[in-house]
Structure formats: structure tokens, C-alpha cells
Chain A
Amino acid sequence: MVPELGQFSLVLALLIAILQSIVPILGASRGNSTWMNSAKTSSLLMLFLVSFSFIALVYSYIVSDFTVLNVVNNSHSDKPMLYKVVGTWGNHEGSILLWVLILVTFGAAVAVFGGDIPSTLKARTLSVQAWISVGFISFILFTSNPFERVFPPPLNGNELNPLLQDIGLAIHPPLLYFGYVGFSIVFSFAVAALIEGNVEPGWARIVRPWILVAWTSLSGGVALGSWWAYYELGWGGWWFWDPVENVSLMPWLIGTALLHSAIVTEKRGAFKAWTILLSILTFSLSLLGTFIVRSGLLTSVHSFAVDPERGIYILILLALSIGGSLVLFAFRGASIEDDGLFSPISRESGLLLNNLLLVTCAGTVLFGTMYPLFLEAISGEKISVGPPFFNITFVPIALILCSVMVIGPYLNWKKADLLGVLSRLRFTMVLSLFGLLVIWYLKTSGPALAILSFGIAIWLLLGVIQEWIERVKLFDLSPNTTLKLIKSMPRASHGMTISHMGISLIVMGAVASSAWRQESVIFAELGQKNNFAGFTISLERIENIKGPNYISKMASIRVENSKGFIENLYPERRVYPVAGSATTESAIRQTLQGDLYISFSEAADKSIKDKWTLRLIYEPLVNFIWLGAILLMCGGFMSLSDRRFRRSFSSVKKMIHSIREPS
């Protein structure tokens, strides 16, 4: 009964979405405010219906309802409750339902929190958002129904892929989707603006907080995916330039460009058409991400359920949304006029350079990701594009970006004095050069590019800190006045400082952990001492352990350094009998200097007793990556809490107030 209700409410949601696709936008063109305002009710109703449908699916998982095919395929009654719940989105159908839930959440959020948005823009935006909803709800209903029944019901389910039975699944997909889909509302705002044929700086002011929300979530989502692969999936790396990773990086790069160009549109009335284009592209790339992952168009290490028929449906959706919006852009974009004039050396130009570099980065990633498809289509040759390509194309551009992004915040709007800025930065330059020499001294063997990149990361960090110190006049005024100044400054400016520091830490971590990583595979006997990366590692014993739905062999490994005993590490090898597969649970000694990573497996030959294969990895500074990602998100949150953005929330309070006490 519950699954049927879930499906029924999804059908109702589709009908309402169709209604919302037409009525508010017609109302906007006819000036009918009742029609326009209907978007609010219908958005909330859609949120309610899709939430109900989602909860119905979660419920089916919680009670292990094996009459539902989706539950049978992805769950098992022995599975821990947490994984029953998160298993809801650990599969194609459930994850698309989550996608739609987030889509309608953003629509409803604009309907509720967008009190200060002009009513025509709001009505058109919500209609555009409803077009996307129609597309994806119908996609679920026609090609990927999560509520499909199975008869006769099996006694038990097939279990969720053990690799996915991890806390990472609970947070990574929702956060990533929140970012991906968050850009849908930005897209809707952009299309609505194109329909209106008018982009005012006020438009950018309205859209910026939504860009920030989506960008912050996407940053977290991408970083979490990388963290998950690194710590839990035991893949022994945090980035593989795999298509599935690339498609999450591309919207992040374009989204970052958008974040910056929207500032220029808001503050200076320039880059209008460009900002609109980036808004469309960011969401288009998010859609492309969904498409590539779900269609099996490109090969990937991530084994998602793949179905070409779904691929074709998504391709049609993509053609309509991306193609449609770009056609609109081609017709209307040229007539959007910029107001602000600026000289070649100015904050505007700095942000323009930022945008060009970021878009080029995204372009190389797109090209590298799609190239195997292009080549196969044209010449029939099949290849795969791996890290070497991205290392020689993406990395240099990213490094240029990191070295010039120090200067941007020092530049004034309209016209800036570059030489003056550089002379202000001369001590930082000397200091960074010194840092680079220290790194060179420590790592004489190179590689040169890594040493240079690390130097650039130091330069970025110091430059950002100097800019902040100068801005808050840290050493010029008394501590109390400085504190007041810090508090009175727009929080978005502190947000920028924090995020830029985050980028610097990410670069440091990425460079150190890939260039100076050490790896070794040893065949260890019990009690035998092995030297690795300054540690002495000895295998002490192996125990058999029984978990809730797995059995495991656990190694106990003693780690010492030159000063003596540090700690014991316990890597495991788990076998999931129901799913018939095994996972490697590596043990990690995590410190800020670096991670010591040990995974183990049984000896190659059953006849050899007491000999085990240990895989040892030392990744220096790898935690800087996650630390940097956390700073990136903190910067996003900090900017979101800016006074200007809070205004829209105060309008909600007023609204709630007026409902309670009708005047």
C-alpha cells in the first residue's frame, strides 16, 4: 500500500509540475498576479508530494518490504538500519528520486524565501524550475520507477553493494546532489531573465546567495567523494581523473567562475550576458554529469547500473533544457547591454582573467573526458584518457590561476595600480621564494613542477593573509578597533579570504601527496620487522572477527618510528557472504604531516601459512586537501551569512509574522 501511495503522490506531483510550468509564466506575461502567486502554493505542494513519495521509499527500505523490486535489489534484512535507510539512494531509481526531491526543495525555497524578488521574475523562475521537474519526474515514472512491485516476493534481498555500505554513502550523494541540483535554481533564474530580456544588477544580487548555497554544497560534495574514495573505498588515491569525478569537477569550476562573475554583475553592472551563460553552463554540466554517469556513455571505475534506454531519455531531456536555454541565449544574449566600463587593469579585469582561466580549466576537463567518445566516433579508435593528459593540460592552467589569484583582491574596481600592488606584495614574494628554496632543499630530487607548485601555494597563502591583515589594519590600530573593524566588514569579504586560503591548502596537499607519495608491497611474516617511510612496521597477529553482516580477518600491526612505539593499526579484510563479495578496510594513521595507510590481504597461495601481503602507502600532507575543502566550505557559509543575504530571510520572518497576526 505504502509504495502505491508513494507512486501516486509522484504522479500528482507531475500534474502539479505541469500546471506550474504554464500558469505562473502566463501570469507574468499578462500581469495577472493571482496566476503568478499560484507558483508559491504549487511549489510547496510539490515539495510535500515528492517528500511523501521519498519517505514512502525510505519506509519500504526500513521495513525491508521485499515486494518492492528496488528494495529486493539493494537491501537485505540483516543489513544495519543506517544502511537500510541510506540504501534508498544507493541505486539509480532512489538517487534520481532524491535528485527530484532536492529540485523541488530549491523551488519551494525560492517561493518561500524569495520575498524581495520582483514578482514577474519569481513567477517565471518557478515556471522554469517546474519544466525541469516535469522532465525528471516523468523520467522516474516512465523509465526508473522505484516503486515497481515484484511477484512472488523473494524471502530476502540481494544486499547493497558492500563498497557502498559506508557512512560516505549517507552524506556524499545528498551533498553532491544538493550542489548539482542547487544550480538548477540559478539556471531557472537565468532563463527567466532571458525570457524577460533584461538583466539588472539587482538580478545578480538575488541570485548570488543561491549560487553560494549550491557552490558550497558542491565543494563539500566533491571533496567528500574524494575523501570517501581515499579513506573508505581503499582505492589508495584521492583523485583519478575518472569521468565520474571529472563531471563533478566541471560544474564546480564553472560554478566558481559564476560565483566571481556574478559579483561583477552585481557591483558594476558588467559581464551580464557572461554571467547568464555561466549560470546555464553550470547546470548544463551538472545534467551532463547525471547523464554520463547514468547512461554508460563513457567507461568509468564507478560501476553504476547502466541502461542505454534511460540514457536516451536523459539525452532528450538534456537536448531540451541545454539546447533550449542556449537557443534562447543565442537570440536574447546579444541584446543584453553592460553598464560598467573598466580599464584593463582593474578588479573587473582580474575577475575576467579568473573566469577565463577557470573556464579553460573546465574546457580541458570536458575535452579530456569526452575525447575517447569523439575519437571513437571519428576514427573508430578506442582509447582512455588518464592522469597524464590532465597533468599536462589542467595543472599548468590551475597553477597560473593560483599565482594570479593572489593579486585580484588587491585591485581596485574600475582602475587599479598593478605596480603599486606588486610593490606592496614584495615582502610576500621574497618570503614565498624563500619557502620555495626550503622545499627545494628538503626535496632535492624534485620533481621541479611539484616544487614550483608548492612555492605557488605558499605565495597564495601568504598573499591572502597579507591582504586580510592590511584590510583589517591588524597592526595599525589597537586590537579593539581592529576587532570592531573585522566585525563591521562584510562577512563575504572574510569568506573570500577563508576560501582562498582553502585553495592554497588544497594545492599543498595535492602536490605533496602525489609527488612525494611512497608506496610498497611487502610479504610479511608474523613478527618480521619492515622499514618503510621512516617507520618500522611489524605484523603481530591475525584475528577472525564476525560483524553484523560480514566476517572479517583483522591484522594487528605495530608501528614504530625512530623514537619507539607509536600505535597499533588494524586493517581488515571483510567478506560479505550474502553479496558474495569482499572489501578491504585499510587502517590509517592520520596525522597532519601525512597518512600512513596499510591494507592487507591473504597470502597469494593458500598453502603458505603465516605470510601476508601488506600494502603500505605514505601520503605526506594529504589531510591538507580535506582541511582546505573545509575552509572552502567555511568561506561559503561565511559569505552566506552576510548581512545583505540575510535580508531575504528577514522578509520570511515578516511573512510568518503577518500570517500569525493578520493586520
Chain B
Amino acid sequence: MKRVLFIFPLIVALGIGLFSVWGLSGDRNPSDIPSALIGKAIPNFKLETIMTEGISELSNNDLAKLEKITVVNFFASWCLPCKLEHSSLKKLNSSYDIQLVGISYKDKKSDTSNWLSELGNPYHVVGLDISGRTGIEWGISGVPETFLINKKGEIIYNFAGPLLGKNLAHFENILRLELNKKQ
């Protein structure tokens, strides 16, 4: 019995070692933590909109009603990576049949509208999340962060960071898969 006690530390160390060997193999990226909302319905929210004709308020029900695949992009005028990402969003909007929803995160109304008039507005709807409350509901880790939502109103993929290069290509692959699935 006593002997077992003395072997115990070795067993624990071996266990940690095995996990570590596994952790080093392959091209896993530990920073890549997917949203807890994957496979779930869009969280509840209600936001004032700007630069959107016909709709003065945007809520989760509106998104659920859409008959299209929806891409929700959190952005802010104070966020430099968002500026870099902006052209990718324009491209997404022009190349695919999607509904592109922008949520301006912790930003002022005037800043957002100036920013969008200057760079162009790729979004069909822009919601204002001035308090950052909606961002918390969606569990974003920062801006930009983009969510892909299927026609049933479920979140199927999310990406934190600017959609550029390899990440954009990956996002487009998932988007294409989803578009084909429904046709």
C-alpha cells in the first residue's frame, strides 16, 4: 500500500505528460476557442438601427424571420482591424446571397455613421450596441467578430478577429457549404 503512494506522483506526472504530447501534436491552436453559442438560437436582443431604411429597430426575432443565411458582424469605428476587414465584408456581400447584419459595438452613433459613409456601407441592417450589452449576450471576445447563422436562426460558426486571407477563405468555405446544403 505504501509503495502505491510513492508511485502516485509518477502516475500523475505521466498523465500530464501524455496530455502534453497530444497537445503538441497536430496543428491545434489553443487560442481558437469556438463560441459556446454554436448550434444554439440567436440570443435575445433589441437594438436601435441606423442607416437602414424601413427598420428602426433590430431584434433577434427579425433575424430569425429572415429567409436567408445571415452573417452578423460586430464592428466599431475605433477598431483598426475592422477597417482592414471592411473590404472582405464588401466582397462577401457582393459574391454571395446573404443577409449581412452589422452591429456597431460600444461606439457612438455619429462615429458609426461617419465611418460607414466614408468607407461605404456593406450591411443591409446596422444595429447600434452602444452599451455593449448585446455583445455580452453574443459572448464576443472583442471586435471584429463574425457569426454565421443558418435559415433556422441558429448560429453555426463564429470567428473572432478580422476575416482576412486564410481565415476569410475558411469562412467562405463554410458559407458555401451552408448555401449548397439548402438548395
Contacts and interface: CB of A to CB of B under 8 A. Distances in A.
Interface string A372-391: 11101100001110000000
Interface in B40-90: 76-78
Nearest to B7: A330
Nearest to B108: A604
Nearest to B32: A382
Nearest to B9: A326
Given A299-B31, A308-B24, A370-B19, A605 B9 contact: no
Nearest to A273: B6
Contact of A315 (B14, B24, B77): B24
B115 A605 contact: yes
B24 A605 contact: no
B33 A284 contact: no
B143 to A, nearest CB: 12
Interface string A87-116: 000000000000000000000000000000
A334 B3 CA distance: 6
A383 B33 contact: yes
Interface in B16-48: 16-17, 19-24, 28, 30-34
Contact of B9 (A277, A308, A315): A277
B102 to A, nearest CB: 16
A451 interface: no
Query: Most A CB atoms within 10 A — which of B21, B24, B111?
Result: B24
Contacts of A600: none
Given A326-B13, A329-B6, A373-B23, A604 B28 contact: no
Query: Most B CB atoms within 10 A — which of A308, A334, A376, A605?
Result: A605
A312 to B, nearest CB: 6
Indicate the size class of the contact surface on chain A.
Answer: 35 or more
B17 A376 contact: no
Contacts of A373: 19-20, 23, 30
B178 interface: no
A474 interface: no
Contacts of B108: 604-605
Given A297-B30, A383-B33, A605 B77 contact: yes
Indicate the size class of the contact surface on chain B.
Answer: 20 to 34
Interface stretch (A218-226, A317-325, A567-575, A638-646): A317-325
A334 B23 contact: no
B19 A374 contact: yes
Contacts of A299: 30-31, 33
A305 interface: no
Nearest to B113: A605
B17 to A, nearest CB: 6
A357 B133 CA distance: 40
B33 A382 contact: yes
Contact of A329 (B10, B76, B110): B10
Contacts of B33: 299, 382-384
Given A308-B24, A605-B114, A377 B19 contact: yes
A312 B24 contact: yes
Interface string A29-60: 00000000000000000000000000000000
A322 B2 contact: no
A423 interface: no
A284 B20 CA distance: 14
Contacts of A594: none
A315 B20 contact: yes
Interface string B101-113: 0000001101100
A433 to B, nearest CB: 40
Closest 9 CB pairs of A and B: A604-B78, A326-B10, A605-B111, A299-B30, A299-B31, A333-B6, A330-B7, A382-B33, A297-B23
Interface of B: 2-3, 5-7, 9-10, 13-14, 16-17, 19-24, 28, 30-34, 76-78, 107-108, 110-111, 114-115
24 contacts: A273-B6, A277-B9, A288-B16, A291-B20, A295-B24, A299-B30, A311-B24, A312-B24, A319-B17, A323-B10, A326-B9, A329-B10, A330-B7, A333-B6, A373-B30, A376-B28, A376-B30, A377-B23, A382-B30, A382-B33, A604-B76, A605-B108, A605-B114, A608-B110
